[in-house]
Structure formats: structure tokens, C-alpha cells
């Protein structure tokens, strides 16, 4: 959490972008689950009828939501990188030595 005594513009923006990135991730997971649920219903209850159109609409709108959420994530990433010239607290995989050295394997490199 950013406190008022140590808050700078960059730290406040990075904190807000971090919260928004987490929110986008949760919403994207929900959209994927909704798409899978609609696809499951579409395949296993494909006897026709009026509800087939609603299952198709569920899948289409969940794909639209995924597109919008990943667009928001990309815009946040571009804005954070261009305005703050930092990685905004996102994990960095680093170099190949992170994966070949047993002492640093799987550790987050800021």
C-alpha cells in the first residue's frame, strides 16, 4: 500500500495499475469460465430449440468480454511503460541463468 509520506506520482500510478491488472485478471478468468460453460451447454444440449441461440450469445459475449479485457490490460501496460518508464511491479523472467541456476530457479526477479 502506498502511504502519504512516501507517495510519489509514479508509486501511486504503479499501485493503481497493479490493482487494475489484478481486477482484469479475475474478470478474464470469469469470462473464460463463462465461455466454457456456454460451450458445454451448446454441445451437450444441442437438441435445438430457443435456448440454442442464448447459449451461442453467451459464448459470443464472453469472447467480446475477453477481447475488451485484454485490450484494457494492454492499454494499461503501454501507459505504465510509457509514462513511468518502469515495469510497474510486474514479474520479469530475467535471463536464462535464472532457469539454469538451481539457487535462483522459480524466484521472482524485480
pLDDT tens digits for range 13-57: 778 888 888 888 899 999 999 989 888 888 887 766 667 778 888
3-state helix, strand, coil in the chain (%, to 5): 65, 0, 30
Which of the two residues, 37 and 3, has the higher pLDDT score? 37
| pLDDT > 70? residue 69 | yes
Give the per-residue pLDDT at 53.
Answer: 78
Torsions phi, psi for 66 (to 5 deg): -60, -45
pLDDT recorded at residue 65 = 92
Q: Is the pLDDT of residue 67 over 90?
A: yes
**Residues forming beta bridges with residue 92, ordered by sequence position:** 109
Amino acid at each position: 500500500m502506498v502511504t502519504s509520506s512516501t507517495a510519489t506520482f509514479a508509486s501511486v500510478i504503479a499501485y493503481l495499475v497493479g490493482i487494475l491488472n489484478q481486477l482484469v485478471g479475475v474478470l478474464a478468468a470469469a469470462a473464460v469460465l463463462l465461455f466454457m460453460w456456454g460451450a458445454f451447454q451448446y454441445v451437450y444440449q444441442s437438441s435445438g430449440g430457443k435456448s440454442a441461440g442464448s447459449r451461442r450469445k453467451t459464448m459470443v459475449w464472453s469472447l467480446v468480454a475477453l477481447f475488451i479485457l485484454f485490450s484494457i490490460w494492454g492499454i494499461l501496460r503501454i501507459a505504465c511503460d510509457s509514462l513511468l518508464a518502469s515495469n510497474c511491479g510486474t514479474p520479469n523472467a530475467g535471463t536464462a541463468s535464472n532457469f539454469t541456476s538451481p539457487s535462483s530457479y522459480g524466484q521472482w526477479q524485480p
